[in-house]
């Protein structure tokens, strides 16, 4: 029996190098060995204001970005969250098991409610419970995510514990986070103290995976680096440079030590020029495939539909077991 992997991304902004390196790069490798489900978290996107048209267009765009990045709809189940109503159904049961005290601790809720002061809605608060439902519906063993999602994963494990205490074991599987060794936290290009985020208002802070070559070069060359000249990987004293070296290392397959040797005696500028080239070469075929996929929305619709049907068939089994266990008449 292959282990089950599940992960997703919220449909906001465009996928960035941070999403690629922290998550999708790993998803691609996992699809070869595991039973994988990857989805677009469009319901999660509703926790902040969304223009309906933009959200609709973006859902197609994200789906095409997943495929263009190398996720294969034959090897994996790729689907859209809102097309599988079991997610919200399980989420309600789990909401009734989750103490508010646990939600109060979520750092992402705190950060997001500071950022969206005019819209601190209940969905923003219960967001991690929906995320737990996403994972638990499919009996996922491993959840490949970046470092920023670790706390949500821990809450998901707590929720399994609450469920088991009340209703017994064997109904929901205890998942584990799968966090890559390097690149689990790619930082903003202009402000390496904060993470690279696709919903950042300042475009210079991130490289989107569908940026063109010119934009990529401009953003990487303009990235903030630190004082000094030596090319040395040291996130404490050289956070800007180290961030660029992490990106370089993951995309080129070279270790940061190898990069230090290669750039001995050279300037930051040299590394930036070469890194921009590596990023452009990595993303060029992605962009081409993306443009191609976006020309045929009907094809994307068909793929979404078949992914969602396959996901529903799997998720329904867990949901029925949960409903029976909690005493709902079926
Ligand atoms: P999201 O959309 O913010 O990010 C998608 C994935 O990319 C990772 N990531 C990063 N990794 C490294 N460096 C960065 N700067 C960076 N920024 C983002 C994230 O850790 C994530 O793995 N709540 C989730 C979506 C979600 C989900 C789930 C994930 C909903 N349900 C169930 C896993 C399982 C989110 O908003 O990710």
pLDDT beyond 90 at 182: no
Q: Best substitution site from 4, 5, 41 to test ligand 1's pocket, by max atoms within 8 Å of Cβ?
A: 41
Pick left, alpha or beta for residue 178 (phi over 0 → left; psi -120 to 50 → alpha; otherwise beta): beta
The tens digit of pLDDT for each residue in 265-280 reads 999 999 999 999 999 9
Residue-averaged pLDDT of the chain = 96
Q: How confident is the model at residue 227 (pLDDT cuts 50, 70, 90)?
A: confident
Q: How confident is the model at residue 180 (pLDDT cuts 50, 70, 90)?
A: confident
**What is the set of active-site residues?**
112, 195, 198
157-184 mean pLDDT: 95
pLDDT value at residue 249: 96
The tens digit of pLDDT for each residue in 232-264 reads 999 999 999 999 999 999 999 999 999 999 999
| Contact of 186 with 198, CB cutoff 8 Å | no
State in Å: Cα 12 to ligand 1 middle. 11
- Pocket of ligand 1 from Cβ distances under 6 Å: 6-10, 18-19, 21-23, 41, 44, 131, 134-135, 143, 145-146, 148-149, 184-186, 195-196
| Contact of 279 with 251, CB cutoff 8 Å | yes
Cα 157 from Cα 140, distance rounded (Å):
12
Domain 4-179+297-326: CATH architecture, name and number where available? 3-Layer(aba) Sandwich (3.40)
State in Å: Cα 132 to ligand 1 middle. 13
The tens digit of pLDDT for each residue in 29-57 reads 999 899 999 999 999 999 999 999 999 99
Percent of the chain clearing pLDDT 70 (strictly above): 100
| Contact of 22 with 145, CB cutoff 8 Å | yes
Q: Best substitution site from 39, 61, 145, 205 to test ligand 1's pocket, by max atoms within 8 Å of Cβ?
A: 145
pLDDT value at residue 220: 97
Q: Report which protein residue has its CA nearest ligand 1's atom 18.
A: 19
324-329 mean pLDDT: 98
The tens digit of pLDDT for each residue in 78-98 reads 999 999 999 999 999 999 999
Residues of the chain with CATH 1.10.240.10: 203-292
Q: Report which protein residue has its CA nearest ligand 1's atom 7.
A: 19
pLDDT beyond 90 at 181: no
Under CATH, domain 203-292 is a member of which superfamily?
Tyrosyl-Transfer RNA Synthetase (1.10.240.10)
Q: Best substitution site from 149, 180, 199, 311 to test ligand 1's pocket, by max atoms within 8 Å of Cβ?
A: 149
pLDDT value at residue 72: 96
State in Å: Cα 245 to ligand 1 middle. 21
pLDDT beyond 90 at 206: yes
Q: Where are the beta strands (DSSP E) in the chain?
A: 4-10, 35-41, 76-80, 142-144, 176-178
Q: Which atom of ligand 1 is nearest to the CA of 152?
A: 23
pLDDT value at residue 115: 87
State in Å: Cα 27 to ligand 1 middle. 12
Provide CB contacts within 8 A for 214, sequence distance 6+. Answer: none
Distance of CA 153 to the CA centre of its chain: 13
Output DSSP code: residue 107.
H
Q: Which atom of ligand 1 is nearest to the CA of 6?
A: 34
Residues of the chain with CATH 3.40.50.620: 4-179+297-326
Cα 238 from Cα 250, distance rounded (Å):
18
pLDDT value at residue 264: 96
pLDDT value at residue 275: 98
From the number of C-beta atoms within 10 Å of its C-beta (0-12, 13-18, 19+), residue 323 rates as: middle
Task: Kindly calculate the radius of gyration of the chain based on its CA atoms and give it in whole angstroms.
Answer: 21
Cα 176 from Cα 154, distance rounded (Å):
9
Percent of the chain clearing pLDDT 90 (strictly above): 93
pLDDT beyond 90 at 155: yes
pLDDT beyond 90 at 152: yes
Please identify which residue in the block is written with the tokens 């590596």.
Answer: 278
pLDDT value at residue 60: 98
State in Å: Cα 228 to ligand 1 middle. 33
């Amino acid at each position: 029996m292959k282990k089950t992997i599940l992960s997703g991304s919220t449909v906001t902004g465009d996928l960035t190098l941070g999403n690629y390196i922290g998550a999708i790069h790993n998803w691609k490798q996992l699809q070869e060995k595991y039973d994988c489900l990857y989805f677009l978290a469009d319901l999660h996107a509703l926790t902040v204001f969304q223009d309906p048209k933009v959200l609709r267009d973006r859902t197609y765009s994200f789906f095409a970005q997943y495929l263009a990045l190398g996720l294969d709809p034959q090897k994996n189940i790729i689907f859209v969250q809102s097309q599988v109503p079991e997610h919200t159904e399980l989420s309600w049961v789990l909401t009734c098991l989750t103490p508010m005290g646990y939600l109060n601790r979520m750092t992402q809720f705190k950060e997001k409610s500071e950022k969206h002061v005019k819209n601190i809605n209940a969905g923003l608060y219960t967001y991690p419970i929906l995320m737990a439902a996403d994972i638990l519906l499919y009996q996922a063993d491993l959840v490949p995510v970046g470092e920023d999602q670790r706390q949500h994963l821990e809450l998901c494990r707590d929720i399994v514990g609450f469920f088991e205490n009340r209703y017994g074991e064997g109904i929901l599987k205890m998942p584990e986070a799968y966090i890559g060794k390097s690149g689990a936290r790619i930082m903003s290009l202009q402000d390496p103290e904060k993470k690279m985020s696709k919903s950042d208002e300042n475009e210079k802070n991130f490289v989107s995976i569908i940026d063109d070559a010119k934009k990529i070069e401009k953003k990487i060359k303009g990235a903030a680096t630190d004082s000094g000249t030596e090319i040395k990987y040291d996130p404490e004293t050289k956070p800007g440079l180290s961030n660029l070296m992490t990106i370089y290392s993951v995309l080129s397959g070279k270790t940061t030590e190898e990069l230090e040797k290669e750039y001995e005696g050279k300037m930051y500028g040299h590394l930036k020029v070469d890194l921009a080239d590596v990023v452009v070469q990595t993303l060029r075929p992605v962009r081409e495939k993306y443009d191609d996929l976006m020309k045929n929305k009907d094809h994307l619709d068909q793929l979404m539909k078949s992914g969602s049907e396959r996901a529903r068939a799997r998720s329904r089994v867990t949901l029925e077991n949960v409903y029976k266990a909690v005493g709902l008449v079926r």
